[in-house]
């Protein structure tokens, strides 16, 4: 509130508020995009891992940011541990694209295979 008290016109106030909120929004977008790029499965179950990625993507979409399915798939594959390397090679070697839903289904099966 103190930041707008020094302005004399409604236009100056609105411009100040717009700059302030735009800056905060850009910071939030950058934070979410960085989180999407750096998320790791670690000890999470596959379901929890996928839910976290979907949540980040949903938050980006909710604030008007475009999230390509390919970006989401790359984030998912990039955050898997080395035990998933054979799976990642198989998926990235495919001639036809894969959907996030299909990828999740295959990952759930692969995770069960790893647990045996």
In the chain, where are the structural domains located? 10-115
What tokens does 59 get? 């938050």
What tokens does 71 get? 């970006």
Query: In the prediction, which pLDDT does 10 show?
Result: 82
What does pTM read for this prediction? 0.77
User: In tens digits, what is the pLDDT along the chain, a chain of 116 residues?
Assistant: 556 667 778 877 777 766 766 555 888 899 999 999 999 999 999 999 999 999 999 999 988 889 999 999 999 999 999 999 999 999 999 999 999 999 999 999 999 988 88
The owner of tokens 């100056």 is 12
Closest Cα to residue 72, out of 86, 60, 90, 81?
60
**Other C-beta atoms within 10 Å of 11: how many?**
9
């Amino acid at each position: 509130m103190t930041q707008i008290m020094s302005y004399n016109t409604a236009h100056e106030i609105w411009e100040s508020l717009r700059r302030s909120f735009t800056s905060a929004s850009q910071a939030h977008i950058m934070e979410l995009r960085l989180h999407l790029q750096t998320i790791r499965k670690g000890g999470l179950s596959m379901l929890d891992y996928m839910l976290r990625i979907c949540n980040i993507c949903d938050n980006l979409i909710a604030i008007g940011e475009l999230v390509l399915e390919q970006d989401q798939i790359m984030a998912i594959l990039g955050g898997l541990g080395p035990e998933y390397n054979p799976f990642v090679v198989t998926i990235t070697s495919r001639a036809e694209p894969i959907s996030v839903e299909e990828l999740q289904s295959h990952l759930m099966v692969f995770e069960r295979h790893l647990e045996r």
